[in-house]
Structure 1
Amino acid sequence: MKAFVNLPTDNELTFNAEEYSDISEMRALSELLGPYGMKFLSESLMWHISSQVAELKKLVVENMDVLTQMRTSFDKPDHMAALFKKLTSVDSVLKRMTIIGVILSFRSLAQEALRDVGRSCSSKMLVSAPQVAMNVYELSSAAGLPCEIDPALVVALSSQKSAENISPEEEYKIACLLMVFVAVSLPMFACSVMSQYSPAIEGHCNNIHCLAKAINQIAAALFTIHKGSIEDRLKEFLALASSSLLKIGQETDKTTTRNRESVYLLLDMVRAESPFLTMDLLESCFPYVLLRNAYHAVYKQSISANA
Protein backbone atom coordinates (compact mmCIF):
# COMPACT_ATOMS: atom_id res chain seq x y z
CA MET A 1 0.00 0.00 0.00
CA LYS A 2 1.24 3.49 -0.88
CA ALA A 3 0.47 6.38 1.45
CA PHE A 4 2.01 9.20 3.43
CA VAL A 5 2.47 8.22 7.07
CA ASN A 6 3.14 10.04 10.33
CA LEU A 7 6.47 9.49 12.04
CA PRO A 8 6.83 9.74 15.84
CA THR A 9 7.80 13.29 16.84
CA ASP A 10 7.76 15.44 19.95
CA ASN A 11 4.96 17.52 18.47
CA GLU A 12 2.31 14.97 17.58
CA LEU A 13 0.10 15.84 14.61
CA THR A 14 -3.63 16.02 15.22
CA PHE A 15 -4.40 13.81 12.22
CA ASN A 16 -3.08 10.62 10.64
CA ALA A 17 -1.60 11.30 7.23
CA GLU A 18 -2.40 7.79 6.00
CA GLU A 19 -6.12 8.38 6.58
CA TYR A 20 -6.06 11.09 3.91
CA SER A 21 -3.47 9.81 1.46
CA ASP A 22 -3.97 6.06 1.07
CA ILE A 23 -5.13 4.71 -2.27
CA SER A 24 -8.84 4.54 -1.35
CA GLU A 25 -8.86 8.19 -0.22
CA MET A 26 -7.00 9.28 -3.35
CA ARG A 27 -9.48 7.41 -5.53
CA ALA A 28 -12.35 9.11 -3.71
CA LEU A 29 -10.67 12.48 -4.31
CA SER A 30 -10.23 11.63 -7.98
CA GLU A 31 -13.91 10.70 -8.31
CA LEU A 32 -14.97 13.95 -6.61
CA LEU A 33 -12.73 16.24 -8.65
CA GLY A 34 -12.86 14.43 -11.97
CA PRO A 35 -10.17 14.70 -14.67
CA TYR A 36 -10.34 18.50 -14.92
CA GLY A 37 -10.18 18.93 -11.16
CA MET A 38 -7.20 16.59 -10.94
CA LYS A 39 -5.53 18.51 -13.76
CA PHE A 40 -6.01 21.75 -11.79
CA LEU A 41 -4.57 20.06 -8.68
CA SER A 42 -1.59 18.90 -10.73
CA GLU A 43 -0.99 22.40 -12.11
CA SER A 44 -1.12 23.85 -8.58
CA LEU A 45 1.49 21.35 -7.42
CA MET A 46 3.66 22.17 -10.43
CA TRP A 47 3.56 25.87 -9.49
CA HIS A 48 5.06 25.04 -6.10
CA ILE A 49 7.77 22.95 -7.76
CA SER A 50 8.49 25.74 -10.23
CA SER A 51 9.07 28.21 -7.39
CA GLN A 52 11.50 25.77 -5.73
CA VAL A 53 13.41 25.28 -8.99
CA ALA A 54 13.68 29.05 -9.43
CA GLU A 55 15.33 29.31 -6.01
CA LEU A 56 17.61 26.37 -6.80
CA LYS A 57 18.80 28.12 -9.96
CA LYS A 58 19.73 31.19 -7.91
CA LEU A 59 21.84 29.00 -5.63
CA VAL A 60 23.54 27.45 -8.66
CA VAL A 61 24.41 30.89 -10.03
CA GLU A 62 25.95 31.83 -6.66
CA ASN A 63 28.20 28.75 -6.85
CA MET A 64 28.69 28.57 -10.61
CA ASP A 65 32.49 28.87 -10.72
CA VAL A 66 33.03 26.14 -8.10
CA LEU A 67 30.44 23.81 -9.66
CA THR A 68 31.98 24.25 -13.11
CA GLN A 69 35.32 23.07 -11.71
CA MET A 70 33.71 20.17 -9.82
CA ARG A 71 31.95 18.99 -12.95
CA THR A 72 35.27 18.09 -14.57
CA SER A 73 37.20 17.06 -11.46
CA PHE A 74 35.21 14.10 -10.11
CA ASP A 75 38.22 11.81 -10.67
CA LYS A 76 40.41 13.98 -8.39
CA PRO A 77 39.21 13.27 -4.81
CA ASP A 78 41.47 15.74 -3.02
CA HIS A 79 40.62 18.57 -5.39
CA MET A 80 36.90 17.76 -5.11
CA ALA A 81 37.09 17.85 -1.31
CA ALA A 82 38.74 21.27 -1.42
CA LEU A 83 36.16 22.59 -3.89
CA PHE A 84 33.24 21.21 -1.87
CA LYS A 85 34.29 23.30 1.12
CA LYS A 86 33.82 26.41 -1.04
CA LEU A 87 30.18 25.61 -1.83
CA THR A 88 27.48 27.60 -0.05
CA SER A 89 23.81 26.76 0.70
CA VAL A 90 24.31 23.00 0.33
CA ASP A 91 21.64 22.26 2.96
CA SER A 92 19.17 24.54 1.18
CA VAL A 93 19.70 22.72 -2.13
CA LEU A 94 19.07 19.33 -0.52
CA LYS A 95 16.00 20.54 1.38
CA ARG A 96 14.45 22.12 -1.72
CA MET A 97 15.07 19.02 -3.83
CA THR A 98 13.53 16.86 -1.09
CA ILE A 99 10.45 19.12 -1.01
CA ILE A 100 10.14 18.75 -4.79
CA GLY A 101 10.38 14.97 -4.39
CA VAL A 102 7.64 14.90 -1.76
CA ILE A 103 5.33 16.98 -3.97
CA LEU A 104 6.01 14.72 -6.96
CA SER A 105 5.37 11.64 -4.81
CA PHE A 106 1.99 13.00 -3.77
CA ARG A 107 1.19 13.80 -7.39
CA SER A 108 2.18 10.26 -8.36
CA LEU A 109 -0.37 8.91 -5.85
CA ALA A 110 -3.01 11.24 -7.30
CA GLN A 111 -2.20 10.17 -10.87
CA GLU A 112 -2.36 6.50 -9.91
CA ALA A 113 -5.77 7.05 -8.33
CA LEU A 114 -6.98 8.92 -11.43
CA ARG A 115 -5.79 6.04 -13.60
CA ASP A 116 -7.63 3.47 -11.45
CA VAL A 117 -10.86 5.48 -11.46
CA GLY A 118 -10.61 6.10 -15.19
CA ARG A 119 -10.00 2.42 -15.88
CA SER A 120 -13.13 1.42 -13.97
CA CYS A 121 -15.25 4.07 -15.72
CA SER A 122 -13.97 3.76 -19.27
CA SER A 123 -11.99 0.59 -19.62
CA LYS A 124 -11.97 0.60 -23.44
CA MET A 125 -10.44 4.05 -23.69
CA LEU A 126 -7.72 3.34 -21.12
CA VAL A 127 -6.81 -0.03 -22.62
CA SER A 128 -5.89 1.74 -25.86
CA ALA A 129 -4.55 4.92 -24.23
CA PRO A 130 -1.02 3.62 -23.57
CA GLN A 131 -0.60 2.83 -27.29
CA VAL A 132 -2.23 6.02 -28.60
CA ALA A 133 -0.51 8.27 -26.08
CA MET A 134 3.04 6.96 -26.37
CA ASN A 135 4.10 10.22 -28.04
CA VAL A 136 1.28 12.43 -26.72
CA TYR A 137 2.36 13.07 -23.16
CA GLU A 138 -0.44 15.49 -22.27
CA LEU A 139 -3.12 12.96 -23.22
CA SER A 140 -1.28 10.27 -21.30
CA SER A 141 -0.91 12.47 -18.21
CA ALA A 142 -4.56 13.54 -18.30
CA ALA A 143 -5.54 9.87 -18.15
CA GLY A 144 -3.27 9.34 -15.15
CA LEU A 145 -0.74 7.28 -17.11
CA PRO A 146 2.93 7.64 -16.13
CA CYS A 147 5.19 9.52 -18.56
CA GLU A 148 8.94 9.47 -19.04
CA ILE A 149 8.76 13.25 -19.34
CA ASP A 150 6.10 15.00 -17.24
CA PRO A 151 4.22 17.44 -19.52
CA ALA A 152 2.84 19.51 -16.63
CA LEU A 153 6.32 19.95 -15.19
CA VAL A 154 7.74 20.92 -18.59
CA VAL A 155 5.04 23.58 -19.01
CA ALA A 156 5.59 24.93 -15.49
CA LEU A 157 9.37 25.18 -15.86
CA SER A 158 9.13 26.56 -19.40
CA SER A 159 7.02 29.46 -18.20
CA GLN A 160 9.64 30.64 -15.71
CA LYS A 161 10.80 34.16 -16.39
CA SER A 162 14.39 34.95 -15.51
CA ALA A 163 14.97 38.20 -13.66
CA GLU A 164 17.99 38.79 -15.88
CA ASN A 165 18.40 38.30 -19.60
CA ILE A 166 20.11 34.92 -19.63
CA SER A 167 20.92 33.25 -22.93
CA PRO A 168 19.59 29.75 -23.70
CA GLU A 169 23.17 28.44 -23.49
CA GLU A 170 23.56 29.89 -20.00
CA GLU A 171 20.18 28.46 -18.92
CA TYR A 172 21.30 25.04 -20.15
CA LYS A 173 24.56 25.36 -18.22
CA ILE A 174 22.64 26.26 -15.05
CA ALA A 175 20.44 23.17 -15.51
CA CYS A 176 23.54 20.97 -15.89
CA LEU A 177 25.20 22.50 -12.84
CA LEU A 178 22.04 22.02 -10.77
CA MET A 179 22.40 18.27 -11.29
CA VAL A 180 26.09 18.54 -10.38
CA PHE A 181 25.20 20.46 -7.19
CA VAL A 182 22.75 17.77 -6.06
CA ALA A 183 25.13 14.92 -6.94
CA VAL A 184 28.11 16.24 -4.96
CA SER A 185 25.90 17.18 -1.99
CA LEU A 186 24.38 13.74 -1.35
CA PRO A 187 27.07 12.65 1.17
CA MET A 188 25.82 15.38 3.52
CA PHE A 189 22.82 13.17 4.32
CA ALA A 190 25.05 10.48 5.84
CA CYS A 191 25.67 12.47 9.03
CA SER A 192 21.96 13.01 9.75
CA VAL A 193 20.20 10.74 12.26
CA MET A 194 16.98 11.12 10.25
CA SER A 195 18.58 9.71 7.08
CA GLN A 196 18.14 6.17 8.36
CA TYR A 197 16.29 3.89 5.93
CA SER A 198 13.26 2.14 7.38
CA PRO A 199 12.31 -1.15 5.67
CA ALA A 200 8.89 -0.96 7.37
CA ILE A 201 7.92 2.14 5.39
CA GLU A 202 10.32 1.47 2.50
CA GLY A 203 11.76 4.94 2.83
CA HIS A 204 14.06 7.23 4.77
CA CYS A 205 12.79 8.96 7.89
CA ASN A 206 13.52 12.42 6.43
CA ASN A 207 11.88 11.68 3.05
CA ILE A 208 15.14 11.70 1.08
CA HIS A 209 13.96 8.60 -0.80
CA CYS A 210 11.71 11.08 -2.64
CA LEU A 211 14.87 12.56 -4.18
CA ALA A 212 14.91 9.72 -6.71
CA LYS A 213 11.68 10.99 -8.24
CA ALA A 214 12.78 14.63 -8.02
CA ILE A 215 16.15 14.03 -9.69
CA ASN A 216 14.69 12.04 -12.58
CA GLN A 217 11.69 14.23 -13.29
CA ILE A 218 13.49 17.57 -12.91
CA ALA A 219 16.28 16.34 -15.20
CA ALA A 220 13.79 15.05 -17.78
CA ALA A 221 11.84 18.33 -17.78
CA LEU A 222 14.82 20.70 -17.82
CA PHE A 223 16.70 18.90 -20.57
CA THR A 224 13.55 18.55 -22.65
CA ILE A 225 13.11 22.33 -22.42
CA HIS A 226 16.76 23.00 -23.28
CA LYS A 227 16.90 20.24 -25.90
CA GLY A 228 19.74 18.42 -24.18
CA SER A 229 20.31 14.70 -23.76
CA ILE A 230 18.45 13.51 -20.66
CA GLU A 231 20.33 10.22 -20.68
CA ASP A 232 23.78 11.84 -20.89
CA ARG A 233 23.01 14.28 -18.07
CA LEU A 234 21.71 11.49 -15.82
CA LYS A 235 24.82 9.44 -16.59
CA GLU A 236 26.91 12.43 -15.55
CA PHE A 237 24.84 12.76 -12.38
CA LEU A 238 25.36 9.08 -11.59
CA ALA A 239 29.13 9.33 -12.09
CA LEU A 240 29.43 12.40 -9.84
CA ALA A 241 27.10 11.04 -7.15
CA SER A 242 28.88 7.66 -7.12
CA SER A 243 32.29 9.30 -6.84
CA SER A 244 31.08 11.53 -3.99
CA LEU A 245 29.47 8.65 -2.06
CA LEU A 246 32.45 6.34 -2.52
CA LYS A 247 34.58 8.92 -0.71
CA ILE A 248 32.51 8.63 2.48
CA GLY A 249 33.24 4.91 2.41
CA GLN A 250 36.82 5.82 3.29
CA GLU A 251 35.85 8.09 6.19
CA THR A 252 36.64 6.91 9.71
CA ASP A 253 34.62 9.55 11.57
CA LYS A 254 31.48 7.79 12.80
CA THR A 255 29.54 11.07 12.95
CA THR A 256 29.92 11.86 9.25
CA THR A 257 29.17 8.26 8.24
CA ARG A 258 26.33 7.54 10.69
CA ASN A 259 23.85 6.53 7.97
CA ARG A 260 26.24 5.90 5.11
CA GLU A 261 24.56 2.65 4.03
CA SER A 262 21.11 4.25 4.00
CA VAL A 263 22.40 7.01 1.72
CA TYR A 264 24.05 4.49 -0.62
CA LEU A 265 20.55 3.17 -1.35
CA LEU A 266 19.65 6.50 -2.97
CA LEU A 267 21.74 5.58 -6.01
CA ASP A 268 19.76 2.38 -6.56
CA MET A 269 16.50 4.30 -6.08
CA VAL A 270 17.52 6.88 -8.70
CA ARG A 271 18.38 4.05 -11.09
CA ALA A 272 15.10 2.19 -10.42
CA GLU A 273 13.04 5.35 -10.92
CA SER A 274 14.72 6.23 -14.22
CA PRO A 275 13.74 4.95 -17.68
CA PHE A 276 17.17 6.10 -18.91
CA LEU A 277 19.52 4.38 -16.45
CA THR A 278 20.31 0.67 -16.15
CA MET A 279 21.74 -1.57 -13.44
CA ASP A 280 24.79 -2.23 -15.61
CA LEU A 281 25.45 1.49 -15.84
CA LEU A 282 25.10 1.93 -12.09
CA GLU A 283 27.45 -0.99 -11.45
CA SER A 284 30.06 0.59 -13.74
CA CYS A 285 30.10 3.62 -11.40
CA PHE A 286 29.31 2.08 -8.02
CA PRO A 287 30.23 -1.50 -6.99
CA TYR A 288 27.17 -3.70 -6.64
CA VAL A 289 28.71 -5.39 -3.61
CA LEU A 290 28.46 -2.09 -1.71
CA LEU A 291 24.76 -1.81 -2.56
CA ARG A 292 24.12 -5.40 -1.52
CA ASN A 293 25.95 -4.87 1.75
CA ALA A 294 24.08 -1.60 2.30
CA TYR A 295 20.70 -3.32 1.95
CA HIS A 296 21.84 -6.07 4.30
CA ALA A 297 23.07 -3.52 6.86
CA VAL A 298 19.88 -1.43 6.94
CA TYR A 299 17.62 -4.48 7.25
CA LYS A 300 19.82 -5.95 9.96
CA GLN A 301 19.78 -2.63 11.81
CA SER A 302 15.99 -2.50 11.56
CA ILE A 303 15.62 -6.02 13.00
CA SER A 304 17.98 -5.17 15.87
CA ALA A 305 16.04 -1.98 16.65
CA ASN A 306 12.73 -3.87 16.79
CA ALA A 307 14.06 -6.82 18.80
Structure 2
Amino acid sequence: MQLAHEDLARLVRTALREDLSETGDLTSTAILAPETSAAGRFVAREPLTLAGIPFAAQVYHQLAPALAFAVFRRDGDDVPAGECVAAVRGSAQAILAGERTALNFLMRLSGIATATRRCVKEIEGTGAVILDTRKTAPGLRAADKYAVATGGGRNHRFGLYDAAMIKDTHLAVDPDIARAVAALRERGIEAERITVEVRDLDQLDRAIAAGAGRALLDNMDLETLRRAVARAAGRIVLEASGGLRPGRLRAVAETGVDCLSLGFLTHSTPAADLAMEMESQR
Protein backbone atom coordinates (compact mmCIF):
# COMPACT_ATOMS: atom_id res chain seq x y z
CA MET A 1 0.00 0.00 0.00
CA GLN A 2 1.35 3.40 -1.00
CA LEU A 3 0.42 6.05 1.54
CA ALA A 4 -0.47 9.34 -0.15
CA HIS A 5 1.70 12.26 0.97
CA GLU A 6 -1.36 14.33 1.79
CA ASP A 7 -2.66 11.57 4.10
CA LEU A 8 0.72 11.29 5.79
CA ALA A 9 1.01 15.04 6.29
CA ARG A 10 -2.56 15.33 7.58
CA LEU A 11 -2.15 12.52 10.12
CA VAL A 12 1.09 13.99 11.44
CA ARG A 13 -0.34 17.52 11.56
CA THR A 14 -3.31 16.31 13.60
CA ALA A 15 -1.07 14.35 15.99
CA LEU A 16 1.26 17.32 16.56
CA ARG A 17 -1.65 19.65 17.19
CA GLU A 18 -3.04 17.18 19.71
CA ASP A 19 0.25 17.13 21.65
CA LEU A 20 1.43 20.73 21.31
CA SER A 21 -1.79 22.72 20.83
CA GLU A 22 -1.10 26.46 20.40
CA THR A 23 1.25 26.69 23.39
CA GLY A 24 3.95 24.20 22.46
CA ASP A 25 6.26 22.21 24.72
CA LEU A 26 6.15 24.07 28.06
CA THR A 27 8.99 22.07 29.60
CA SER A 28 11.56 22.14 26.81
CA THR A 29 11.07 25.81 25.95
CA ALA A 30 11.48 26.75 29.63
CA ILE A 31 14.62 24.79 30.46
CA LEU A 32 16.51 24.64 27.15
CA ALA A 33 17.89 27.62 25.27
CA PRO A 34 16.71 27.92 21.65
CA GLU A 35 20.28 27.51 20.39
CA THR A 36 20.87 24.25 22.29
CA SER A 37 21.67 21.38 19.90
CA ALA A 38 21.17 17.68 20.50
CA ALA A 39 20.90 14.34 18.73
CA GLY A 40 18.17 11.78 19.18
CA ARG A 41 18.49 8.12 18.18
CA PHE A 42 15.41 5.93 17.62
CA VAL A 43 16.35 2.49 18.95
CA ALA A 44 14.48 -0.82 18.79
CA ARG A 45 14.22 -2.33 22.27
CA GLU A 46 12.98 -5.68 20.94
CA PRO A 47 13.07 -7.55 17.61
CA LEU A 48 10.45 -6.05 15.31
CA THR A 49 9.29 -5.42 11.77
CA LEU A 50 9.79 -1.71 11.24
CA ALA A 51 6.97 0.57 10.10
CA GLY A 52 6.44 4.30 10.52
CA ILE A 53 9.73 5.87 9.44
CA PRO A 54 8.00 8.23 6.95
CA PHE A 55 5.75 9.38 9.81
CA ALA A 56 8.68 10.11 12.12
CA ALA A 57 10.46 11.98 9.34
CA GLN A 58 7.32 14.00 8.62
CA VAL A 59 6.99 14.92 12.31
CA TYR A 60 10.35 16.66 12.25
CA HIS A 61 9.84 18.13 8.79
CA GLN A 62 6.72 19.88 10.05
CA LEU A 63 8.27 20.97 13.35
CA ALA A 64 11.60 22.24 12.05
CA PRO A 65 12.66 21.57 8.46
CA ALA A 66 16.26 22.50 9.34
CA LEU A 67 16.63 19.36 11.47
CA ALA A 68 18.75 16.60 9.94
CA PHE A 69 16.81 13.32 9.88
CA ALA A 70 18.85 10.22 8.98
CA VAL A 71 17.28 6.84 8.14
CA PHE A 72 19.25 3.67 8.86
CA ARG A 73 16.55 1.02 8.38
CA ARG A 74 13.56 1.07 6.05
CA ASP A 75 9.93 0.17 6.65
CA GLY A 76 9.48 -3.56 6.20
CA ASP A 77 12.93 -4.43 7.56
CA ASP A 78 13.18 -7.00 10.33
CA VAL A 79 15.22 -5.21 12.99
CA PRO A 80 17.01 -6.83 15.96
CA ALA A 81 16.86 -5.44 19.48
CA GLY A 82 19.33 -2.66 20.16
CA GLU A 83 19.58 -1.36 16.60
CA CYS A 84 19.23 2.32 15.77
CA VAL A 85 16.67 2.75 12.97
CA ALA A 86 16.83 6.54 12.55
CA ALA A 87 18.36 9.64 14.10
CA VAL A 88 17.60 13.34 14.21
CA ARG A 89 20.04 16.22 14.90
CA GLY A 90 19.57 19.91 15.52
CA SER A 91 17.48 22.00 17.87
CA ALA A 92 16.99 20.16 21.16
CA GLN A 93 13.67 21.96 21.68
CA ALA A 94 12.32 20.73 18.33
CA ILE A 95 13.61 17.17 18.78
CA LEU A 96 11.95 16.84 22.18
CA ALA A 97 8.74 18.48 20.98
CA GLY A 98 8.34 15.74 18.39
CA GLU A 99 9.72 12.80 20.39
CA ARG A 100 6.43 11.34 21.63
CA THR A 101 4.52 11.90 18.40
CA ALA A 102 7.25 10.25 16.34
CA LEU A 103 7.48 7.34 18.78
CA ASN A 104 3.71 6.91 18.91
CA PHE A 105 3.64 6.36 15.16
CA LEU A 106 6.72 4.13 15.13
CA MET A 107 5.58 1.97 18.05
CA ARG A 108 1.99 1.48 16.91
CA LEU A 109 2.77 0.85 13.26
CA SER A 110 5.77 -1.39 13.98
CA GLY A 111 3.59 -3.39 16.37
CA ILE A 112 1.02 -3.95 13.63
CA ALA A 113 3.68 -4.76 11.02
CA THR A 114 5.43 -7.19 13.38
CA ALA A 115 2.22 -9.06 14.18
CA THR A 116 1.29 -9.17 10.49
CA ARG A 117 4.69 -10.54 9.50
CA ARG A 118 4.35 -13.28 12.14
CA CYS A 119 0.93 -14.26 10.77
CA VAL A 120 2.11 -14.26 7.15
CA LYS A 121 5.01 -16.55 8.05
CA GLU A 122 2.71 -18.90 9.95
CA ILE A 123 0.58 -19.67 6.88
CA GLU A 124 3.42 -19.55 4.35
CA GLY A 125 3.05 -22.16 1.63
CA THR A 126 -0.69 -22.73 2.08
CA GLY A 127 -1.76 -20.38 -0.70
CA ALA A 128 -3.93 -18.34 1.69
CA VAL A 129 -3.34 -14.65 2.40
CA ILE A 130 -3.70 -12.48 5.51
CA LEU A 131 -6.22 -9.62 5.30
CA ASP A 132 -6.89 -6.70 7.60
CA THR A 133 -10.32 -5.28 8.51
CA ARG A 134 -11.97 -1.94 9.27
CA LYS A 135 -11.31 -2.45 13.00
CA THR A 136 -8.78 0.36 13.10
CA ALA A 137 -8.10 3.27 15.44
CA PRO A 138 -10.46 6.15 14.56
CA GLY A 139 -8.67 8.58 12.28
CA LEU A 140 -5.70 6.25 11.74
CA ARG A 141 -7.10 3.81 9.19
CA ALA A 142 -4.67 4.80 6.44
CA ALA A 143 -1.73 4.43 8.83
CA ASP A 144 -2.94 1.12 10.28
CA LYS A 145 -3.55 -0.41 6.86
CA TYR A 146 -0.17 0.87 5.66
CA ALA A 147 1.43 -1.03 8.56
CA VAL A 148 -0.42 -4.25 7.65
CA ALA A 149 0.82 -4.00 4.07
CA THR A 150 4.34 -3.25 5.32
CA GLY A 151 4.22 -6.49 7.32
CA GLY A 152 3.24 -8.50 4.24
CA GLY A 153 -0.54 -8.63 4.67
CA ARG A 154 -3.12 -7.45 2.16
CA ASN A 155 -5.57 -4.65 2.63
CA HIS A 156 -9.27 -5.49 2.65
CA ARG A 157 -11.77 -2.76 1.78
CA PHE A 158 -10.76 0.64 3.11
CA GLY A 159 -14.27 1.69 4.08
CA LEU A 160 -17.95 1.25 3.44
CA TYR A 161 -17.59 3.09 0.14
CA ASP A 162 -15.18 0.94 -1.89
CA ALA A 163 -16.68 -2.55 -1.52
CA ALA A 164 -19.93 -4.04 -0.25
CA MET A 165 -20.30 -6.51 2.59
CA ILE A 166 -23.71 -7.96 3.46
CA LYS A 167 -23.19 -8.60 7.16
CA ASP A 168 -25.16 -10.56 9.69
CA THR A 169 -26.55 -7.25 10.94
CA HIS A 170 -28.01 -6.56 7.50
CA LEU A 171 -29.44 -10.07 7.30
CA ALA A 172 -30.97 -9.69 10.75
CA VAL A 173 -33.12 -6.92 9.27
CA ASP A 174 -33.74 -8.63 5.93
CA PRO A 175 -32.50 -12.25 5.57
CA ASP A 176 -32.98 -12.39 1.78
CA ILE A 177 -29.41 -12.80 0.48
CA ALA A 178 -30.51 -13.00 -3.16
CA ARG A 179 -32.38 -9.71 -2.94
CA ALA A 180 -29.43 -8.00 -1.23
CA VAL A 181 -26.93 -9.15 -3.85
CA ALA A 182 -29.31 -8.19 -6.68
CA ALA A 183 -29.75 -4.70 -5.23
CA LEU A 184 -26.00 -4.19 -5.19
CA ARG A 185 -25.55 -5.53 -8.72
CA GLU A 186 -28.28 -3.16 -9.93
CA ARG A 187 -26.12 -0.30 -8.64
CA GLY A 188 -23.26 -1.45 -10.83
CA ILE A 189 -21.19 -3.09 -8.09
CA GLU A 190 -19.19 -5.98 -9.53
CA ALA A 191 -19.55 -9.45 -8.03
CA GLU A 192 -15.93 -9.45 -6.83
CA ARG A 193 -16.70 -6.40 -4.68
CA ILE A 194 -19.66 -8.07 -2.98
CA THR A 195 -19.08 -10.16 0.16
CA VAL A 196 -21.76 -12.03 2.07
CA GLU A 197 -21.10 -12.92 5.70
CA VAL A 198 -22.32 -16.48 6.22
CA ARG A 199 -22.68 -18.50 9.40
CA ASP A 200 -23.54 -21.88 7.89
CA LEU A 201 -23.40 -23.84 4.66
CA ASP A 202 -26.98 -23.03 3.75
CA GLN A 203 -26.17 -19.33 3.69
CA LEU A 204 -23.04 -20.10 1.67
CA ASP A 205 -25.15 -21.91 -0.92
CA ARG A 206 -27.49 -18.92 -1.12
CA ALA A 207 -24.58 -16.48 -1.50
CA ILE A 208 -23.17 -18.54 -4.39
CA ALA A 209 -26.56 -18.85 -6.06
CA ALA A 210 -27.10 -15.10 -5.72
CA GLY A 211 -23.88 -14.36 -7.58
CA ALA A 212 -21.77 -12.87 -4.78
CA GLY A 213 -18.05 -12.91 -5.45
CA ARG A 214 -16.90 -13.48 -1.89
CA ALA A 215 -18.14 -15.16 1.28
CA LEU A 216 -16.94 -14.40 4.80
CA LEU A 217 -17.07 -17.64 6.78
CA ASP A 218 -17.81 -16.39 10.27
CA ASN A 219 -16.56 -18.38 13.29
CA MET A 220 -16.71 -21.75 11.55
CA ASP A 221 -14.81 -24.73 12.99
CA LEU A 222 -12.20 -26.49 10.88
CA GLU A 223 -14.48 -29.26 9.67
CA THR A 224 -17.14 -26.79 8.56
CA LEU A 225 -14.49 -24.72 6.79
CA ARG A 226 -13.33 -27.82 4.90
CA ARG A 227 -16.90 -28.58 3.91
CA ALA A 228 -17.40 -24.98 2.80
CA VAL A 229 -14.32 -25.20 0.56
CA ALA A 230 -15.60 -28.43 -0.99
CA ARG A 231 -19.09 -26.99 -1.41
CA ALA A 232 -17.86 -23.79 -3.03
CA ALA A 233 -15.59 -25.66 -5.46
CA GLY A 234 -13.84 -22.47 -6.54
CA ARG A 235 -17.04 -20.61 -7.44
CA ILE A 236 -16.57 -17.92 -4.77
CA VAL A 237 -13.64 -16.48 -2.81
CA LEU A 238 -13.72 -17.79 0.76
CA GLU A 239 -12.55 -15.70 3.70
CA ALA A 240 -12.25 -17.22 7.18
CA SER A 241 -12.87 -14.82 10.03
CA GLY A 242 -13.65 -14.68 13.73
CA GLY A 243 -11.26 -14.93 16.67
CA LEU A 244 -8.20 -15.76 14.58
CA ARG A 245 -4.87 -15.32 16.40
CA PRO A 246 -1.23 -16.27 15.77
CA GLY A 247 -0.51 -19.87 16.66
CA ARG A 248 -3.80 -21.19 15.30
CA LEU A 249 -3.80 -19.80 11.79
CA ARG A 250 -2.08 -22.55 9.82
CA ALA A 251 -4.77 -25.14 10.49
CA VAL A 252 -7.37 -22.68 9.22
CA ALA A 253 -5.33 -21.86 6.11
CA GLU A 254 -4.85 -25.57 5.39
CA THR A 255 -8.60 -26.09 5.06
CA GLY A 256 -8.29 -24.49 1.62
CA VAL A 257 -9.82 -21.06 2.28
CA ASP A 258 -8.45 -18.21 0.21
CA CYS A 259 -8.05 -15.60 2.92
CA LEU A 260 -7.93 -15.12 6.67
CA SER A 261 -9.12 -11.74 7.95
CA LEU A 262 -7.72 -10.70 11.32
CA GLY A 263 -9.27 -7.80 13.17
CA PHE A 264 -6.80 -8.09 16.04
CA LEU A 265 -3.97 -6.84 13.83
CA THR A 266 -5.26 -3.28 14.10
CA HIS A 267 -7.49 -3.28 17.18
CA SER A 268 -5.46 -5.07 19.85
CA THR A 269 -1.89 -5.75 18.71
CA PRO A 270 0.63 -4.50 21.32
CA ALA A 271 2.82 -1.58 20.32
CA ALA A 272 6.42 -2.43 19.51
CA ASP A 273 9.05 -1.23 21.97
CA LEU A 274 11.14 1.61 20.59
CA ALA A 275 12.71 4.51 22.44
CA MET A 276 14.59 7.72 21.77
CA GLU A 277 18.08 8.05 23.22
CA MET A 278 19.19 11.68 23.52
CA GLU A 279 22.66 13.20 23.72
CA SER A 280 23.84 16.77 23.84
CA GLN A 281 25.78 18.24 20.92
CA ARG A 282 28.34 20.68 22.32
Pair in the same fold by TM > 0.5: no
More contact order relative to length (CA 8 Å, sep ≥ 6) = 2
Q: Which has the higher strand share?
A: 2
Larger Rg: 2
Higher helix proportion:
1
TM-score of the pair, normalised by structure 2: 0.25
TM-score by length of 1: 0.23
